[in-house]
Amino acid sequence: MPSPAIAVENLGKAYRLGLKEEIPDSLIGAATSWIRSPLSNFHRLRRLNTFNTRSDAEEDDVLWALRDVNFDVNEGEVVGIIGRNGAGKSTLLKILSRITSPTHGRAVIRGRVSSLLEVGTGFHPELSGRENVYMNGTILGMRKKEIDRKFDEIVDFSGVEKFLDTPVKRYSSGMKVRLAFAVAAHLEPEILIIDEVLAVGDAAFQKKCLGKMQNVAEGGRTVLFVSHNMAAVESLSGRGILLNAGTVVLTGDISDVIRRYRAIQPLGENDGVYLSSDGGPAGECAIVYAAAHSGDRFSSTGYAAGETLKFVVECTGADTIRDPQLGIGIDTIEGQRLVTLHSNLIDGCPGGNSLDSRVKWECTAKHLLLSPGEYYVVISLEDGSRPVERLSPAFRLTIHPSDAYRNGGKIGRGLVLCDQIWSRANSETSSKQL
Amino acid sequence: MSATSESHLPLRQPYDAYSNPSLDPQIETIIEPCSGWRLVDWQELSEYRDLFSFLVWRSIKVRYAQSAIGIGWAVIQPLFSMLVFTVVFGRLAGIESDGVPYAVFSFVALVPWTYFSNALTEGTSSLVGNASMLSKVYFPRLILPLSTVLARLVDFCIAMVLLAALMAWFGIVPNRGILMMPLLILLMMLTAAGIAMWLSALAVQYRDINHGMTFGIQLLMYAAPVVYAASLIPETYTLFGTIVIWPQHLYALNPMVGVIEGFRSALLGTRPMPWTFLMIGAASSTLIALSGAFYFRSRERLFADVA
């Protein structure tokens, strides 16, 4: 078995929290404190070097950003690193990019690495777009000849050809970011390390970027990237690594990793699903799961326009209330209510007291054809007409464009699509008949 | 490199880190904490030469961007200093100028001194000013102060043109000491680079070095024979009536003393080439540069954390 492209063994990184207060940041301050108490200063200056800290040392002022991280990335794999803010993802990437050094452990990288930790590094506002392409490209590791070769492609990708020779300080922020990403997108290293730069620019450009990322991923390069965009992570990576508070929680198939990430997320506006983190308070009636399915399939990234949606909601503690009823409201992003689905509107849904604690509602929205876009789903659990729990919103629902009308993808404006039957006849003869 | 040691597996082709990836031999990079003094990694520096030249070019371009006079500023600084000094020190104070007009006497010193002070000031703030790059991209950090030292050479060359014009005006012809000029210029650059490496590494952590720089440079000017001749410093001096010291030799520990007096000797012929000064200056300059490089390398891995 060939050696992995990236092998990380027991990597750890500690920061001294008190650094700013302890070490004086002025030469005069340092000089006076040096004169005042040589011994304590000697210790302080030695402690600046955290590289002698043992991994089990639990000193007060030491923050372990990463601790005993182990994983391997094989050649050609695309691995997504996910985790909450502060989990240590960026620190890990910084260490692998040699920007900062680890406190203990080691990493072995086989191959040339290009790191993209920020879009537009090295951009100088006084230089023109053309000059900044060269500047940025060289900083990212491309040779001048390489940039010359790819220059036209880069400019074409960014779409700022007209303004190439004006100083970058005159660009709009969108243009700056597009130019920067265009340079970055044309890197051709063996190993690519990317930190959350997929979410730049407007929607159209984001799509272009994701497409380019897909090319890179399929091109046989080893890619290690961090993103909060679960859809991108799911579609681009094969494997995932979940970091939490500096340690690796799970590595493996990307869908498993994302599911686990969702499970450790605090309550919030998740994509496509609501999961209660504590399984519902005991003795009370509460919603523990809410999601939109299409048939039996669940996707966190949304569904195609035209698919019939089935809403599945589970709750616990249903035996504690007299008459559990469920309302599902679909709102636009702006908050306008499109439609309300309610268990007491239509005959057929059993109501009244439930003997079981855990109850699951399924509601198929027949003939509801939402237009492509984003929607908020509001779930309301009621006891008869008295509200028990209201999740506003429970989750965000994404509807993707599709060829719903079977005409190549064309749809009209509006919040909904509609099954339409059209006919045309010669009206001259019919009016004669009247 | 910051905290890495690189081992190259047997190569079948000339090593070029950025050549076609499909032909690239496998490079293995080991990242681990390491401590202690490390030597300057020349191979790595040469790998990053494209970036180095771009930073030099950027430093030059940006300095004069959007200014109407543009590169003329390179001339204004030494020129106006010279005018002020001629009036104040030449006329009013009546400082000896070794037999040549004071204007050209001070200008010959101001050209290398302006280079030195600008290169030093910019070099010191090079790391702090590029903190965003330090925390986002890997490259040998030594490139930053070294690129400013090289970039200011452009201003130096332009000022030399003006100096030539000034000398022509006064009808002064340089002597064969002019052959020493390249070495003097190298010594000047080495001094600037050495001190810049020390100060830029210190400035990342102790921010007040930047504030003190302008003030420090102004004072330092009086420790070099810019406005006066080195002959003003006594050759020997008796301390406390018994200990004999040689102030001139102590004075020459400032490498710029040798450089400036060397410039004056070569271009104006006011004195023979100051070999003693130059030897002492070269020794101290080499010491500063070596120690500066070591110190810089030892702190390099902390820059991203502390900047």
**DSSP characters for B124-158?**
HTHHHHTHHHHTT----TTHHHHHHHHHTHHHHHH
Give A39→chain B minimum CA distance, Å. 20
Distance CA B74, CA B159 (A): 6
Compare CB distances from A98 to B1, B202, B305 and report the shortest one's residue.
B1
Enumerate the residues of chain B whose CB falls inside 8 A of the CB of residue A122.
Answer: 133, 137
How much is the CA Rg of chain B, to the nearest whole Å?
Answer: 22
* Interface predicted TM-score (ipTM) over 0.85: no
* Residue that has been written with the tokens 């490139």 in this structure: B143
Question: Residue A216: exposed, middle, or buried by beta-carbon count in 10 A (0-12, 13-18, 19+)?
Answer: buried
Give B4→chain A minimum CA distance, Å. 7
Question: B11-38 burial by CB neighbour count: b if 16+ within 10 A, else e?
Answer: eeeeeeebeeeeebeebebebbbeeeeb
> In the structure encoding, which two tokens stand for residue B174, read together?
């340089």
A285: which residues sit within 8 A by CB, 6+ positions away?
A: A315, A316, A317, A318, A320, A321, A324, A381, A383, A388, A389
Whether the CB-CB separation of A360 and A314 falls below 8 Å is answered with: yes
Compare CB distances from B133 to A26, A115, A139 and report the shortest one's residue.
A139
* Strands A324-332 and A373-383, bridge-based pairing: antiparallel
**Hey, what long-range contacts does B45-48 have (CB within 8 A, 24 or more apart)?**
B45/B140, B45/B142, B45/B143, B47/B17, B47/B18, B48/B139, B48/B140, B48/B143
> How much is the average pLDDT of B188-212?
90
Instruction: For the full predicted model, state whether its pTM sits above 0.80.
Output: no
Looking at the complex, does the CB of residue A98 fall below 8 Å from at least one CB of chain B? yes
DSSP string of A108-151, one letter each residue: EEES-EEEESSTTTT--TTSBHHHHHHHHHHHHT--HHHHHHHH
Distance CA B257, CA B274 (A): 9
Give B222→chain A minimum CA distance, Å. 23
Put simply, the answer to whether A51 touches B21 (Cβ < 8 Å) is: no
Which carries the bigger pLDDT value, residue A86 or residue A421?
A: A421
CA-based end-to-end distance of chain B = 17
Enumerate the residues of chain B whose CB falls inside 8 A of the CB of residue A94.
Answer: 135, 304
Enumerate the residues of chain B whose CB falls inside 8 A of the CB of residue A24.
Answer: 206
Give A58's pLDDT tier (boundaries 50, 70, 90). low
Nearest-Cα residue of chain A relative to residue B35: A51
**How many helices (DSSP H) and strands (DSSP E) are in chain A?**
11, 19
> In the structure encoding, which two tokens stand for residue A38, read together?
């040589």
- At B7 the pLDDT is 40
Q: Is the pLDDT of residue A164 over 70?
A: yes
Q: Which uninterrupted H or E stretch holds A162? A: none
- At B136 the pLDDT is 85
Helices B181-205 and B208-221, axial angle in degrees (round to 10)? 150
Nearest-Cα residue of chain A relative to residue B141: A99
**Among the listed ranges A197-206, A338-347, A384-393, B104-113, which one has the minimum average pLDDT value?**
A197-206
Put simply, the answer to whether A122 touches B133 (Cβ < 8 Å) is: yes
As beta bridge partners, residue A359 has: A315
Compare CB distances from B58 to A30, A103, A135 and report the shortest one's residue.
A135
Distance CA A73, CA B194 (A): 42
Nearest CA-CA partner of A309 in A245, A395, A420, A187: A395
Give B55→chain A minimum CA distance, Å. 8
Put simply, the answer to whether B65 touches A51 (Cβ < 8 Å) is: no
Compare CB distances from A139 to B29, B137, B304 and report the shortest one's residue.
B137
Compare CB distances from A25 to B132, B138, B206 and report the shortest one's residue.
B206
Q: Is the pLDDT of residue A213 over 50?
A: yes
Give A357's pLDDT tier (boundaries 50, 70, 90). confident
Give A415's pLDDT tier (boundaries 50, 70, 90). confident
Put simply, the answer to whether B206 touches A111 (Cβ < 8 Å) is: no
- At A14 the pLDDT is 85
Q: Which uninterrupted H or E stretch holds B267? A: helix B255-268
Nearest-Cα residue of chain B relative to residue A195: B136
Put simply, the answer to whether A26 touches B2 (Cβ < 8 Å) is: no
Q: Is the pLDDT of residue B153 over 90?
A: yes
Compare CB distances from B26 to A111, A138, A146 and report the shortest one's residue.
A111
Looking at the complex, does the CB of residue B138 fall below 8 Å from at least one CB of chain A? yes
CA distances in angstroms from A185 to A157, A182, A336, listed in the order given: 9, 5, 39
Whether the CB-CB separation of A307 and A339 falls below 8 Å is answered with: no
Window 39-58 of B, Cβ < 8 Å to A: 50-51, 54, 58
Nearest CA-CA partner of A83 in A193, A7, A196, A181: A196
Window 163-182 of A, Cβ < 8 Å to B: 167
Put simply, the answer to whether B65 touches A126 (Cβ < 8 Å) is: yes
Nearest CA-CA partner of A97 in A121, A129, A76: A121
* Strands B243-245 and B237-239, bridge-based pairing: antiparallel
Compare CB distances from B30 to A28, A94, A108 and report the shortest one's residue.
A108
**Among the listed ranges A31-45, A73-87, A140-154, B141-155, which one has the minimum average pLDDT value?**
A31-45
Whether the CB-CB separation of A153 and A186 falls below 8 Å is answered with: yes
Put simply, the answer to whether A99 touches B58 (Cβ < 8 Å) is: no
The one-character DSSP state at B65 is T
Put simply, the answer to whether A27 touches B202 (Cβ < 8 Å) is: yes
Distance CA B206, CA B198 (A): 12
As beta bridge partners, residue A14 has: A64
**Hey, what long-range contacts does A268-272 have (CB within 8 A, 24 or more apart)?**
A269/A393, A269/A395, A269/A396, A270/A300, A270/A395, A270/A396, A271/A230, A271/A231, A271/A300, A271/A301, A271/A302, A271/A395, A271/A396, A271/A398, A272/A298, A272/A299, A272/A300, A272/A301, A272/A302, A272/A395, A272/A396, A272/A397, A272/A398
Compare CB distances from A124 to B58, B139, B208 and report the shortest one's residue.
B58
Window 190-209 of B, Cβ < 8 Å to A: 202, 205-209
* Residue that has been written with the tokens 């011994």 in this structure: A39
Looking at the complex, does the CB of residue B136 fall below 8 Å from at least one CB of chain A? yes
E strand map for chain B: 4-8, 27-31, 237-239, 243-245
- Please state, rounded to an integer, the average pLDDT across all residues of chain A: 82
> In the structure encoding, which two tokens stand for residue A391, read together?
């999740």
pLDDT digits (tens, 9 = 90+) for A19-49: 444 556 677 777 776 676 656 655 655 555 5
* Strands B27-31 and B4-8, bridge-based pairing: antiparallel
Q: Around B85, how many Cα atoms within 13 Å sit in the side-chain half-sphere? A: 25
Which of A13, A15, A17, A27 should be substituted to probe chain B, the one whose Cβ sees the most B Cβ atoms within 10 Å? A27
Looking at the complex, does the CB of residue B8 fall below 8 Å from at least one CB of chain A? no
> How much is the average pLDDT of B260-271?
90
Give B110's pLDDT tier (boundaries 50, 70, 90). very high
Nearest CA-CA partner of A221 in A189, A186, A187: A189
Q: What is the three-class DSSP state of B216? A: helix
Whether the CB-CB separation of B210 and B134 falls below 8 Å is answered with: no
Nearest CA-CA partner of B166 in B103, B115, B112, B225: B103
